[in-house]
Amino acid sequence: MPKLGMEPIRKAALVKATIVEIGRVGSLDVTVSQIAKRAGMSSALAHHYFGSKEEMFLAAMRHILTLYGAEVRGALALADGPESRLRSVLAASFSATNFRREAVGAWLNFWVLAQTAPEARRLLKVYQRRLRSNLLAGLRPLAGDRAEALADGLGALIDGLYLREVLKSGPPDRAAAIATALNYLNSQLEGAAHAGAAEGQSFR
Amino acid sequence: MPKLGMEPIRKAALVKATIVEIGRVGSLDVTVSQIAKRAGMSSALAHHYFGSKEEMFLAAMRHILTLYGAEVRGALALADGPESRLRSVLAASFSATNFRREAVGAWLNFWVLAQTAPEARRLLKVYQRRLRSNLLAGLRPLAGDRAEALADGLGALIDGLYLREVLKSGPPDRAAAIATALNYLNSQLEGAAHAGAAEGQSFR
DNA sequence: AAGTTTATTGACTCGTCAATCAACAAAAAC
DNA sequence: GTTTTTGTTGATTGACGAGTCAATAAACTT
């Protein structure tokens, strides 16, 4: 039966299966055998293609980030004007895709993994930088030099809202999350309009 | 050597050791033997007092939440007036304690655990409800009927800021996190003032 | 003093799992 | 048409780990 050119197909199947299994179990405590079985092959073959379980996890994480990136790009392509761009980023961040069990499991566990696996941390940083840059593109025309601060706050708010929606029992309310984020934006932008230029908000 | 009344002492030592080990390893992938060794006893004794590893995790989570609760209460005791109360909650949420390696490991992994362990989810809900109620106490005098929405947003923002500070490389910037949260508050309250709702003054 | 409760551990059971290997099959290259 | 490359797995290795248990010992009870 051995057809050639199996490698990409097998790898893709394993990545998908890895994400599904992590979502099913809710932790990184999944066995290579489970993953391989779901992907329709022996565990030996999984090792053959990925070398180690950790490599599988990292490939899965890359895949999740790629999906998210594609979703953002897709939404941005239809946007015109800064406000529309911001809305697109929010829509993508709170898309139904990101609330599927697999995606949730992946994100939560990748945060844990990022604590100790340098490559995972690197990937997470890539995601955050991209999100930040997308937000900035929409914010700069609206907020000028306050854009940086707003982007940081909004980025954190997005993560926090996601976390809460995901951990609460019952179905997540994506619209409410988006509304809260938009509300943050509106009030910050109104504030800038009233105050005129930037004013140093000194903490402490 | 068997002195009596060891149970609470042993349990406390185990809880502490559990948290330390989770922080050290960065995941829930710690063995009972590791924990017991750090707590200065045999793994059999750990099982004797806690029955299972899961019980140890839950006890550790309860302990973390208790510590956090105590910190908030302590800060609130010194506060006078709504603004001061809000500030206290923020200070406690971003206290140095919460950024120690053990606490970080605990929080991240408890989020993961909350996906599947009902008791963990319950505990997390208790934390969120308490945070929300503390925020509301400070917000209601300032924001009136908008307090609920603000508390939800601020709660998510706190979690999100914590997540970001914790996952970025380098030392966390607690002051920046507090500043961002205060900035959120200010702009939301100013918005309310303009809209003619409750009387809200900006505080910085 | 005999019996009960509490504290404590080393040794053991039973299972699991990541990773390796030998071996087999088919296509491609020579 | 033999050799090499690619695909594939069952069986095995080697390690580790959660939870149990029997045994030992000190303290409290009666």
For the stretch A123-146, pLDDT in tens is 999 999 999 999 999 999 999 999
| Nearest of B195, B197, B80, B183 to residue B147 by alpha carbon | B197
Q: How far is B131 from chain A (nearest CA, A)?
A: 13
Residues of chain A contacting B203 with CB distance shorter than 8 Å: none
Among candidates B29, B160, B169 on the partner chain, residue whose Cβ is nearest the Cβ of A159: B160
Measured from the CB, is B7 under 7 Å from any atom of strand C? yes
**How far, in Å, CA of A165 to CA of B130, rounded?**
17
At A201, the pLDDT band (50, 70, 90 cuts) reads very low
Tell me which of A146, A159, A174 to substitute to probe the interface with B (most B C-beta atoms closer than 10 Å). A159
> Residue B47 is encoded by which pair of tokens?
């099982």
Q: Are A180 and B112 in contact (CB < 8 Å)?
A: no
- The complex's ipTM? 0.91
For residues B24-33, give the mean pLDDT: 97
For residues B165-174, give the mean pLDDT: 94
Measured from the CB, is A7 under 7 Å from any atom of strand D? yes
pLDDT for the residue numbered B200: 42
| Nearest of B76, B93, B94 to residue B85 by alpha carbon | B76
| Nearest of B59, B92, B56 to residue B73 by alpha carbon | B92
Q: Are B112 and A109 in contact (CB < 8 Å)?
A: yes
**How far, in Å, CA of B13 to CA of B11, rounded?**
5
Contacts of B7-15 with CB under 8 Å at 24 or more apart are B7/B49, B10/B39, B10/B41, B10/B45, B10/B49, B11/B49, B11/B50, B11/B59, B13/B39, B13/B40, B13/B41, B14/B39, B14/B41, B14/B46, B14/B49, B14/B50, B14/B56, B14/B59, B15/B56, B15/B59, B15/B60, B15/B63
**How far, in Å, CA of A34 to CA of A11, rounded?**
15
Task: Tell me the nt nearest to A29, Cα to C1'.
Answer: C17
At B3, the pLDDT band (50, 70, 90 cuts) reads confident
Q: Which of residues 14-33 of B touch strand C (CB under 7 A)?
A: none
Residue A203 pLDDT > 50: no
**How far, in Å, CA of A20 to CA of B162, rounded?**
28
Measured from the CB, is A8 under 7 Å from any atom of strand D? no
**How far, in Å, CA of B166 to CA of A111, rounded?**
10
Measured from the CB, is B202 under 7 Å from any atom of strand D? no
At B203, the pLDDT band (50, 70, 90 cuts) reads low
> Residue B85 is encoded by which pair of tokens?
């109360």
Residue B41 pLDDT > 80: yes
Residues of chain B contacting A158 with CB distance shorter than 8 Å: 160
pLDDT for the residue numbered A2: 57
Among candidates A25, A109, A183 on the partner chain, residue whose Cβ is nearest the Cβ of B153: A183
Q: How far is A193 from chain B (nearest CA, A)?
A: 11
Residue A199 pLDDT > 50: no
B101 contacts: CB under 8 Å, gap ≥ 6: B23, B24
pLDDT for the residue numbered B197: 41
Among candidates B115, B121, B158 on the partner chain, residue whose Cβ is nearest the Cβ of A160: B158
User: Could you identify the residue whose CA is nearest to the C1' atom of nucleotide D5?
Assistant: A4
Q: In chain B, whose CA is at the least distance from the CA of A182?
A: B153
Find out whether B98 and B68 touch, Cβ atoms under 8 Å.
yes
pLDDT for the residue numbered A190: 79
- How many A×B Cβ pairs under 8 Å? 141
Q: Which helix (H) or strand (E) holds B55?
A: helix B53-77
Among candidates A29, A124, A167 on the partner chain, residue whose Cβ is nearest the Cβ of B114: A167
Residue A50 CB: number of other CB atoms within 10 A? 21
Task: Tell me the nt nearest to A56, Cα to C1'.
Answer: C18
Task: Tell me the nt nearest to B56, Cα to C1'.
Answer: D18
Residues of chain B contacting A113 with CB distance shorter than 8 Å: 27
A147 contacts: CB under 8 Å, gap ≥ 6: A136, A139, A140
